[in-house]
């Protein structure tokens, strides 16, 4: 399996982490090689106490601006900045200006954010959050040494700030100074034995040393002994990852699912779980996980690559090709998408020339599976030849069949036509027999004469006088 480890520097416990994704060839699987940690690309606004009826209106404005920053929408950020730019000049505590820096940083205006943090430090050098947020900006700007220096200075000015100590632990981890990071974690636990951030960084140190037993012990200890730790998605994710590395897939799946129940947008948990599903060829459950991961991190080339494989697994070939090509556009130096495009185009689309071109680009780009790609090219060329032969044979068979039909038609046309049979003579009408003469009606029988009846003789007419 091809693994690329890219450690992350975590400056804030509450931020959404990001992690690289591994892409072995030809079946890249989503694997975050560095465990879950907070991401310096986001900071949290500093809350203010609920305003009392007699409090200054500036506190109300800062509280309202904090809500808008938490919303995170561009429109709300602009409103928050407008509110805080006026409130910062009136607020002597530095909270309004610190939140103004947070708003600028969330908007992507790092220079202005750094200026606000530096202004807070100038008036409140014991504000550990200002040192922490300034270091997060410098980290994003690539000023790692300056970030480390400011974290150390922040710890000196605010020794009780555990978030600064977590940031230092992770900086030491990034530098490969794991033993120093472990000592820093132990010191931080003496300051705050209930800090989930310290426990998380502590366990990651052991994980990076390959000591899965101690790493799992640290994560489990935090979950079992600290109130609320069981509902911490970060700890559940890292505990699940230790189980996965120890080949205990059922337990890994359990904890990763729990992490996503707690925080559906926790990117590493989604990517870790998708790796388990991919290895089980469970593409149906992988797709929604990686689609959400893509939404959270749309410019992650390796997520795109793995999503392409999952799409291919559920026969969404057009979506698979789009994902592969987007992965190439995001990271043209990575040859892995060319390999996967070769498989898709050759095996599924039967575009043999296109597939050979993709595998050739994979080899030219230094893909590690050169021998496998070369074998694919040979197999594709052989299949192309066989396909061409089959096509030629089919065309020849079709041509012969058409010739046969033509010959049969010509033979039919050449045969003499039979003389038409003579028309039958018309039948002479048979004479009709004369109708029989009508019979004389039989004479009616004579009725017998009525028998005379004796009637009295008429009386004589009276004589005239």
On average, the pLDDT of the chain sits at 83
- DSSP annotation of 348 reads I
pLDDT of residue 36: 47
pLDDT in tens, 79-119: 999 999 999 988 899 999 999 999 999 999 999 999 999 99
Q: Measured between alpha carbons, how far is 293 from 291 in angstroms, rounded to an integer?
A: 5
Using an 8 Å Cβ cutoff, are 222 and 229 in contact?
yes
Q: Whose structure tokens read 């997520």?
A: 303
For 290, other C-beta atoms within 10 Å of its C-beta total 27
pLDDT for the residue numbered 426: 65
Q: Mind listing the pLDDT tens digit of every residue in the chain (465 residues)?
A: 222 222 222 222 222 223 222 222 333 333 333 444 445 445 666 655 443 333 458 888 999 999 999 888 899 999 999 999 999 988 899 999 999 999 999 999 999 999 999 999 999 999 999 999 999 999 999 998 999 999 999 999 999 999 999 999 999 998 899 999 999 999 999 999 999 999 999 999 999 999 999 999 999 999 999 999 999 999 999 999 999 999 999 999 999 999 999 999 999 999 999 999 999 999 999 999 999 999 999 999 999 999 999 999 999 999 999 999 999 999 999 999 999 999 999 999 999 999 999 999 999 999 999 999 999 999 988 988 888 788 889 888 988 898 888 888 888 888 777 766 676 666 666 655 555 555 555 555 555 544 444 444 444 444 444
Q: Which DSSP helix (H) or strand (E) runs through 259?
A: helix 249-262
pLDDT, position 332: 95
pLDDT digits (tens, 9 = 90+) for 51-87: 333 345 888 899 999 999 988 889 999 999 999 999 9
For CA atoms 107, 109, 110, 112, the dihedral sign is negative
Angstrom distance (rounded) from CA 290 to CA 270: 7
User: Do residues 293 and 275 make contact, with C-beta atoms less than 8 angstroms apart?
Assistant: no
Assess contact for 58 and 50: CB atoms under 8 A: no
CB neighbour class for 98 (10 Å; exposed up to 12, middle 13-18, buried from 19): buried
- Sort 226 into a burial class: Cβ within 10 Å, 0-12 / 13-18 / 19+: middle
CB atoms within 10 A of CB 112: 17
What are the two backbone dihedrals, phi and then psi, of residue 32, each rounded to the nearest 5 degrees?
Answer: -85, 120
Among the listed residues 42, 96, 103, the one whose alpha carbon sits nearest the alpha carbon of residue 74: 103
In angstroms, the CA 198 to CA 15 distance is 15
Structure letter (DSSP) for residue 298: T
CB 263 within 8 A of CB 269: yes
Q: Scan for tokens 């200075």, then name that residue.
A: 153
Nearest to 2 by CA among 305, 346, 209: 305
Q: What is the DSSP string of 123-167?
A: H-TT-HHHHHHHHHHHHHTT-HHHHHHHHHHHHHH-TT-HHHHHH
């Amino acid at each position: 399996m091809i693994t690329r480890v890219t450690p992350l520097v975590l400056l804030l416990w509450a931020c959404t982490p990001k992690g690289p994704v591994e892409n072995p060839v030809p079946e890249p699987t989503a694997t975050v090689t560095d465990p879950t940690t907070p991401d310096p690309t986001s900071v949290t606004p500093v809350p203010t106490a609920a305003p009392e009826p007699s409090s200054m209106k500036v506190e109300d404005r800062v509280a309202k601006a904090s809500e808008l920053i938490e919303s995170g929408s561009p429109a709300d950020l602009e409103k928050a900045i407008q509110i805080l730019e006026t409130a910062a000049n009136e607020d002597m505590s530095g909270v309004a200006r610190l939140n103004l820096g947070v708003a600028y940083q969330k908007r992507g205006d790092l220079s202005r954010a750094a200026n606000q943090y530096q202004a807070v430090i100038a008036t409140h050098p014991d504000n550990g959050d200002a040192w922490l947020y300034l270091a997060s900006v410098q980290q994003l700007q690539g000023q790692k040494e300056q970030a480390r220096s400011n974290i150390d200075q922040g710890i000196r000015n605010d020794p009780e700030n555990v978030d600064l100590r977590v940031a230092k632990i992770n900086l030491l981890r990034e530098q490969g100074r794991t033993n120093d990071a472990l000592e820093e974690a132990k010191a931080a636990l003496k300051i705050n034995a209930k800090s989930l951030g310290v426990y998380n960084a502590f366990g990651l140190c052991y994980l990076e040393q390959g000591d899965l037993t101690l790493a799992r012990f640290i994560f489990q200890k935090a979950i079992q002994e600290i109130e609320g730790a069981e509902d911490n998605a970060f700890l559940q994710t890292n505990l699940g990852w230790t189980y996965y590395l120890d080949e205990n897939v059922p337990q890994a799946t359990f904890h990763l699912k729990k992490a996503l129940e707690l925080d559906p947008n926790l990117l590493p948990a989604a990517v870790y779980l998708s790796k388990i599903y991919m290895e089980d060829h469970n593409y149906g459950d992988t797709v929604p996980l990686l689609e959400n991961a893509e939404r959270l991190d749309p410019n992650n080339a390796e997520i795109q690559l793995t999503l392409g494989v999952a799409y291919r697994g559920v026969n969404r070939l057009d979506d698979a090709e789009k994902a592969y090509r987007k992965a190439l556009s995001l990271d043209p130096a990575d040859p892995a998408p060319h390999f996967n495009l070769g498989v898709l185009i050759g095996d599924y689309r039967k575009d043999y020339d296109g597939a050979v071109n993709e595998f050739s680009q994979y080899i030219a780009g230094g893909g590690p599976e050169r021998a496998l790609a070369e074998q694919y090219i040979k197999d594709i060329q052989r299949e192309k030849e066989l396909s061409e032969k089959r096509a030629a044979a089919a065309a020849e068979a079709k041509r012969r069949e058409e010739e046969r039909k033509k010959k049969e038609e010509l033979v039919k046309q050449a045969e003499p036509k039979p003389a038409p049979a003579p028309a039958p003579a018309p039948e002479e009408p048979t004479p009709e027999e004369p109708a029989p003469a009508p019979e004389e009606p039989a004479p009616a029988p004579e009725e017998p004469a009525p028998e005379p009846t004796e009637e009295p003789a008429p009386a004589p007419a009276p004589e005239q006088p």
